[in-house]
Amino acid sequence: MALDTYYTLGNTGLRVSRLALGTMTFGTEWGWGIEKKDSAKIFDCYLENGGNFVDTADMYTGGTSEKFIGDFMKERKNRESIVLATKFTFNNTEEKFINGGGNSRKNIRRTLEESLKRLQTDYIDLYIMHCWDRMTPVEEVMRTLNDLVTEGKILHYAFSNVPAWYASKAQTIARYNNYEPICALQLEYSLIQRTIENEFIDLTQDMNAGIMAWSPLGGGLLSGKYKPGIDGQKDVQGRLKQITDNGGEVSSKDNERNWNIVKTLHEVSEEINQPMASVAINWIASQPSVATVLVGATKLSQIKENMSALEFTIPAESMEKLKAASAPVISYPYTFFEPKTLGRIYPGTKVGLKPDNYWKELRIG
C-alpha cells in the first residue's frame, strides 16, 4: 500500500495518513470539478491504498463535495475508519443572510448542523475554521469550538488561513482555559508558495500543531502538465486554464519566478526519474512541521501518481536545488532572525539552530 504510515496529528492521539484526500474537485459546480462516479473512483482508490484522512468544506462546490462523501461513506459503511475534516466560515447559504457566514457562535453552530446532514454523520473528526473573519472575538470562537468538543459533535479542531499572531493567541487561550488545543493549521504550501516559512514552522512547533499543506501543486502548475518552454498557459489544460479563461486569479501564478521553479522541478524529476507531481508533493511532505499534504485530483491516474509521492527519497542535493530555486523572499522583521544576526547576538558562540528534521524525529512513525 502506498500510504501505510500514519502520524499523530499535532498533540493528539489521532493517527492520519501523510497524504490526505482533498475533495474540492468533487462536484462540477465550480467548472473544473468532476462527476459523482469519477469522484467515487478517486475516493475508493485513496482508501484502498491505505489513506484515512479526507478533507472537505461546507462551501466546496456549494455543498456537493460533502454530499458525495456522505453518500460514499454510507454506501460503503466506512465512516468509522475515516478521519473526516470539514470547514466553516464562508457564506454558503442561498439567501446570503448576514449571519450566514463568519466565525460567530451562531454561524458555527448552524453550519455544523448543515455539514452533519450533508455528510450523514453525527460527528466531525476535525472541524476547521476556514478563514479568519476579522470580526468575531477569538474568545467566542475558542469557547464555541471547545463546547462542541465537550458535546461530542466534533473531536478536534484546526484553523486555516489565519495570521500567525491570531493562531498563537487562540492557542494561548486554549492553554490557560484548559480547552481542547488547536491541533493543526491548514495552510497553502508548495514550491511556489513558501511564505508560511516566515512564521508558521516555528509557530506550529511551539503550539504542538501539524501543518496540513493545501495546493501542494499550486493548483496544477507543478503537476507536470506544464513544462518549461511552453509559453505561459496557452497550451495547458485543466483547472488553471479554465480559471484563466474565466478571467480568474490564476494569472498571478504566471510569472518568471514560478516558471523557473517549474524548470528546476522538471530537471530534478528527470534526474531522479520520478514524475514532477510526485517530486513536488514529496518535497512538501518532507518539510518540518508538515503533518499531512492534501492531494487533489480530477483523474484516477492523477491520484495514483500523487499517492506514490512518498515511495522514494529525493537525494539531499536535489532537495537543496529545489529549495534554492523556490526560496521565498525573507521580509522584515524576519531578516533579523537569520543565523547572521544571531551571530551578532551571541558573538563567539556556535549558534545551534534546530536541524530541519527536528520536528519529524519527534513524530510517531
Ligand X SMILES: NC(=O)c1ccc[n+]([C@@H]2O[C@H](COP(=O)([O-])OP(=O)(O)OC[C@H]3O[C@@H](n4cnc5c(N)ncnc54)[C@H](OP(=O)(O)O)[C@@H]3O)[C@@H](O)[C@H]2O)c1
Which one of the spans 10-18, 66-74, 109-117, 213-221 is the region binding ligand X (CB under 6 A)? 213-221
The binder of ligand X chosen from 17, 136, 215, 274 (CB under 6 A): 215
The binder of ligand X chosen from 154, 224, 261, 279 (CB under 6 A): 224
| Strand, helix or coil for residue 323 | helix
Q: How far apart are CA 106 and CA 75, in angstroms?
A: 32
Which one of the spans 208-216, 258-266, 326-334, 339-347 is the region binding ligand X (CB under 6 A)? 208-216
The binder of ligand X chosen from 67, 79, 239, 253 (CB under 6 A): 239
Contact of 43 with 89, CB cutoff 8 Å: no
Which one of the spans 19-27, 110-118, 177-185, 260-268 is the region binding ligand X (CB under 6 A)? 19-27
- For ligand X, the closer of residues 79 and 225 by Cβ is 225
Neighbouring C-beta atoms of residue 177, cutoff 10 Å = 11
Match 490564476 to its residue by C-alpha cell.
Answer: 250
- For ligand X, the closer of residues 13 and 209 by Cβ is 209
Burial 305-338 (b: 16+ CB within 10 A, else e): bbbbbbeeebeeebbebbeebbeeeeeeeeeeee
DSSP for 180-227, written as a single string: PPP-EEEEE-BTTB-GGGGTHHHHHHHTT-EEEEE-TTGGGTTSSSS-
Q: Catalytic: which of 6, 7, 46, 60?
A: 60
Confirm or reject binding of residue 119 to ligand X (CB under 6 A): no
The binder of ligand X chosen from 214, 226, 283, 359 (CB under 6 A): 214
Angle, CA 86 vertex, CA 22 and CA 6 arms, to 5°: 60
Confirm or reject binding of residue 294 to ligand X (CB under 6 A): yes
Contact of 11 with 58, CB cutoff 8 Å: no
Q: Quick check: is 179 catalytic?
A: no
Please give the grid coordinates belonging to residue 131.
Answer: 478563514
CA-nearest of 293, 256, 255 to 277 is: 293
Confirm or reject binding of residue 225 to ligand X (CB under 6 A): yes
Confirm or reject binding of residue 284 to ligand X (CB under 6 A): no
Which one of the spans 98-106, 202-210, 223-231, 246-254 is the region binding ligand X (CB under 6 A)? 223-231
Number of residues counted as binding ligand X (CB under 6 A): 31
Confirm or reject binding of residue 103 to ligand X (CB under 6 A): no
Confirm or reject binding of residue 49 to ligand X (CB under 6 A): no
Burial 17-27 (b: 16+ CB within 10 A, else e): bbbbbbbbbbb
Confirm or reject binding of residue 219 to ligand X (CB under 6 A): yes
CA-nearest of 110, 133, 135, 112 to 122 is: 112
The binder of ligand X chosen from 83, 297, 307, 319 (CB under 6 A): 297
Catalytic residues: 60
Q: Which residues bind ligand X (CB under 6 A)?
A: 22-25, 32, 55, 130, 160-161, 186, 214-220, 223-225, 238-239, 277, 294-298, 302, 305-306
